[in-house]
């Protein structure tokens, strides 16, 4: 099944609420969403959500619990529990070197989060732990946490906030989010299909500029797609910023894995290595 335009817009939409920014105004058709109109409607809903610091309800779908036959668990102590329901099983391990190991038992993939980032799942014990950290007293991080806790854990599997408060840019908190959509198939990683997705994105987000569309592979040969964007935005603190995003997508056994970095042009070079490390750590489980 070919991925429909707009399917990878979820991270950009969430960026608006996580970072408390308002992208350029959009309008949407009131008609029932179709593969061609759903993109614009989703954008309009997110602009409204950014103003209220909440997120419109994400699509809900039934998900059968799937457990891989062989999972390379870390050697140190791990916590296994459902993030909100019995259909959201995952493992998050806090390693001695400050990194985190995330294993999605349903999506059948594993990755490593960088040190010095606030890493959490929705409705999980570590969310409360992050909320009590000194960094979380910053109003911008508090707003991000308020948005995160209202997301659907069946889709948004993991969130990482840049723990360096000096990197907060006019109220914008640099973040990485891990999204799993089991109902969507990844494009064939054909360069033309990726360009088509990027063009749809640019047309739907007023002021967005596509900087790169590429097909790449990790060092172990796992292919992935990349779309890089730049977009002007206004933070809730009234500061104009330039939002930079790297959208990464992998074809996994069940649906699509999307890893998205959202930051500003000020801190892009400083935080991109963390994203690169995460991409290289991705393991597709059988």
Confidence of residue 92 (pLDDT cuts 50, 70, 90): very high
Whose structure tokens read 């999980």? Answer: 124
| Structural domain of 231 | 7-29+37-56+77-284
For 130-141, how does the pLDDT look when each residue is reduced to its tens digit (9 = 90+)? 999 999 999 999
Q: Indicate whether 65 belongs to any domain.
A: no
Tell me which residue of 17, 92, 104 sits closest to 63, measured CA to CA. Answer: 104
State the CATH number of the domain containing residue 224: 3.40.1000.10
Strand pairing category for 117-120 and 109-113: unpaired
Tell me how far the alpha carbon of residue 276 is from its chain's centroid: 15
CA–CA distance, 77 with 222 (Å, rounded to integer):
28
Instruction: Kindly tell me if the per-residue pLDDT of 2 is higher than 70.
Output: no
Determine the angle formed by the axes of helices 10-18 and 38-52, rounding to 10 degrees: 10
For 98-129, how does the pLDDT look when each residue is reduced to its tens digit (9 = 90+)? 999 999 999 999 999 999 999 999 989 999 99
CB 114 within 8 A of CB 277: yes
Strand pairing category for 175-181 and 89-94: unpaired
Predicted confidence at residue 138, as pLDDT, reads 94
Confidence of residue 13 (pLDDT cuts 50, 70, 90): low
CA–CA distance, 248 with 283 (Å, rounded to integer):
14
DSSP the chain: -PPPTTGGGHHHHHHHHHTTEEPSP-----SPP-TTTHHHHHHHHHHHHHHHT--PPPP---------S-----SS--EEEESSSTT-EEEEEE-TTS-EEEEETTTTEEEEEPTTEEEE-TTSHHHHHHHTSGGGGSHHHHHHHHHHTTS-TTTEEEEEEE--GGG-BTTBPPEEEEEEETT-PPP---HHHHHHHHHHHHHHSTT-EEEEEEEEE-TT--EEEEEEEEEEEEETTS-EEEEEEEEEEEE-SSSEEEEEEEEETTTHHHHHHHHHHHHHH-EE--
pTM: 0.76
Predicted confidence at residue 208, as pLDDT, reads 83
Predicted confidence at residue 84, as pLDDT, reads 34
Confidence of residue 61 (pLDDT cuts 50, 70, 90): very low
Q: Indicate whether 2 belongs to any domain.
A: no
Q: Indicate whether 69 belongs to any domain.
A: no
Confidence of residue 42 (pLDDT cuts 50, 70, 90): very low
For 204-247, how does the pLDDT look when each residue is reduced to its tens digit (9 = 90+)? 777 789 999 999 999 999 999 999 989 888 888 888 999 998 98
Residue 32 φ/ψ, nearest 5 degrees = -60, 130
Q: Indicate whether 114 belongs to any domain.
A: yes
Instruction: Kindly tell me if the per-residue pLDDT of 78 is higher than 70.
Output: no
CA–CA distance, 5 with 199 (Å, rounded to integer):
9
CA–CA distance, 51 with 41 (Å, rounded to integer):
16
How many domains is the chain partitioned into structurally?
1
For 137-154, how does the pLDDT look when each residue is reduced to its tens digit (9 = 90+)? 999 999 899 888 888 888
Instruction: Kindly tell me if the per-residue pLDDT of 186 is higher than 80.
Output: no
For 242-276, how does the pLDDT look when each residue is reduced to its tens digit (9 = 90+)? 999 898 989 888 888 989 899 999 999 999 999 99
Cβ-based neighbour number of residue 23 at 10 Å: 22
Q: Indicate whether 63 belongs to any domain.
A: no
Whose structure tokens read 């779908």? Answer: 61
Q: Indicate whether 62 belongs to any domain.
A: no
């Amino acid at each position: 099944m070919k991925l429909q335009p707009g399917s990878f817009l979820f991270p950009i939409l969430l960026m608006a609420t996580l970072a408390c920014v308002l992208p350029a105004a959009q309008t949407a058709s009131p008609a029932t969403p179709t593969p061609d109109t759903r993109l614009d409607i989703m954008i309009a809903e997110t602009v409204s959500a950014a103003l209220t610091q909440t997120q419109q309800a994400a699509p809900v779908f039934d998900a059968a619990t799937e457990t891989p036959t062989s999972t390379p668990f870390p050697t140190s102590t791990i916590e296994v529990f459902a993030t909100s329901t019995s259909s959201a099983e995952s493992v998050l391990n806090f390693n001695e070197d400050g990194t985190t190991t995330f294993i999605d038992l349903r999506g059948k993939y594993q990755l490593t989060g960088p040190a010095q980032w606030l890493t959490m799942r929705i409705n999980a014990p570590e969310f409360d732990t992050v909320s009590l950290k000194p960094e979380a007293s910053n109003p911008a991080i508090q707003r991000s946490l308020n948005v995160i806790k209202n997301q659907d854990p069946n889709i948004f599997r993991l969130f990482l906030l840049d723990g360096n408060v000096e990197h907060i840019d006019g109220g914008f908190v640099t973040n990485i989010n891990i999204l799993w959509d089991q109902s969507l198939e990844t494009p064939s990683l054909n360069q033309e299909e990726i360009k088509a997705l990027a063009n749809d994105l640019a047309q739907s987000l007023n002021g967005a500029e596509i900087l790169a569309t590429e097909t790449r592979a990790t060092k172990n040969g796992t292919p992935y797609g990349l779309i890089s964007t730049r977009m002007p935005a206004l933070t809730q603190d009234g500061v104009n910023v330039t939002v930079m995003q790297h959208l990464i997508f992998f074809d996994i056994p069940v649906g699509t894995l999307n890893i998205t970095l959202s930051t500003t042009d000020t801190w892009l070079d400083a935080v991109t290595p963390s994203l690169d490390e995460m991409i290289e750590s991705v393991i597709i489980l059988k």
